[in-house]
Chain A
Amino acid sequence: MTGASDQDVVRWAQQGHEPAFRELVRRYERPVFSLLFRMVRDRTLAEDLAQETFIKLLNGIRSYNPQFKFSSWIFKIANNAAIDHLRKRDLDTLSLDGSPHATTPEEMRATALQVGARGETPLQEVEARELGSAIERAIARLRPEYRSCILLRHVEGHSYEEIAHILDLPLGTVKTYIHRARNELRGYLGDQKT
C-alpha cells in the first residue's frame, strides 16, 4: 500500500479497509502535526487538533470529492481547526513581541510569549528548542492567515491555486498574503533591501 496513490488509498478506505485508514494517518501525521504546531505553538494542543483533524476526515471519508487533491482536503480541515482555535482563544493577538493592542512597553512585556524563559516545564523547554530558531520565531510573528499561506506554500509545497482552495480565499488574496508575509519575514530576519 506504501507505493499507492492517495486516491487509491482513499478508495480502499471508502470500501472499509482498515489498513487504508492507518496508511492515510501515517502519510499525513507529520505534515499535519507540523502545520498545527507552528500555528498554535503548543505541542499538546497541536496533537489534540491533529487528532480531531484525522477523526473528522476519516469519519467523513465517504464525502471526499476526488476532484480535489486529498492533501488539500486534509490541510483545509487542519487549518480551519487551528484558525478556529486561535480565534476562540484569542491567541492571534499574542506574539513574541506581545499583543498588538498593547499601548505601553509594560503591556507589551506582560503579553509577550516567553520562549525559553526560566521556570518552564520540560514540555515547554522542548517546544522552545523546537520552535526557537530565528526562522521559527519569525514565522510565529506573522498573523495567522499569513502563517498558513507561507507554511502551505514553502513547507508543504502547495501551489497558489491549491492554497486558495484550502483557505477558501481568492487567488489574488493568497498571492498578496504570501508576498507580504515574505517581506515581513525578511524584515524579522534582518534581510531587507538596504
Chain B
Amino acid sequence: MNEPVVQHLTPDEIELWAQGLLPAARDIHVAQCAECRAAAERERRLFRALAQLPRFVPEFGFVERVMARVRIPTPSGGFDRR
C-alpha cells in the first residue's frame, strides 16, 4: 500500500502562518509536522525582527527645506513659486 503524500507548507503558506492567516485545515499539518513547524517559526522570528525596525527621522526643518523648492499650482493653471 502506498504511503499518503505529505503536503508540506509552500513558502506562501509559511508566510500566511507567520501572519496568523493560514487556513485551519493547513494549520493541522503544521501542528503535526516538525519540519514545517520549524520553518514557520524561523519565518515568524524574521518577520518580527523586520517589523520592529525603527523609523528614522530626517534632520529638523525637512518640511521647510522641501517646501522652499515646491511650486504650488494656482487656480489659473500656473504655479505660485514658494
B62 touches A21 (CB 8 A): no
Interface check B33, CB cutoff 8 A? no
**B31: Cβ under 8 A from any A Cβ:** no
| A25 with B42, Cβ < 8 A, contacts A16-B72, A135-B53 known | no
Shortest distance in angstroms between A100's beta carbon and chain B's nearest beta carbon?
A: 23
Q: Is the CB of A34 within 8 A of B75?
A: no
Contacts of B75 in A (CB 8 A): 15-16
**What secondary structure prevails in chain A residues at the interface with B?**
helix
Chain A residues, Cβ within 8 Å of B53: 34, 135-136, 155
Beta-carbon contact of B59 and A47 below 8 Å = yes
Instruction: For A191, list chain B residues within 8 Å (CB).
Output: 42, 45-46
B58 touches A59 (CB 8 A): no
Residues of A within 8 A of B42 (CB): 186, 191-193
The answer to whether B71 touches A59, judged by C-beta atoms less than 8 angstroms apart, is: yes
Most buried by B among A30, A46, A130: A30
Q: How large is the interface on B (under 10, 10 to 19, 20 to 34, 35 or more residues)?
A: 20 to 34
Interface size on A, residues (CB 8 A): 39
Instruction: Name the B residues within 8 Å of A130 (CB-CB).
Output: 54, 56
Q: A154 to B57: give the CA distance in the assembly, Å.
A: 19
A14 touches B56 (CB 8 A): no
Residues of A within 8 A of B74 (CB): 16
Task: Say whether B20 faces chain A, with CB atoms less than 8 Å apart.
Answer: no
Contact with B along A169-194 (1 / 0, CB 8 A): 00000010001001001100101110
Contact of B63 among A25, A55, A61, A179 (CB under 8 A): A25
Interface string of A38-78 (1 = CB under 8 A from B): 00000000110011001100110110000000000000000
A to B CB contacts below 8 Å, 14 in the list:
A14-B73, A16-B74, A33-B58, A55-B70, A58-B70, A135-B49, A135-B50, A136-B53, A154-B47, A185-B46, A186-B46, A189-B49, A191-B46, A193-B38
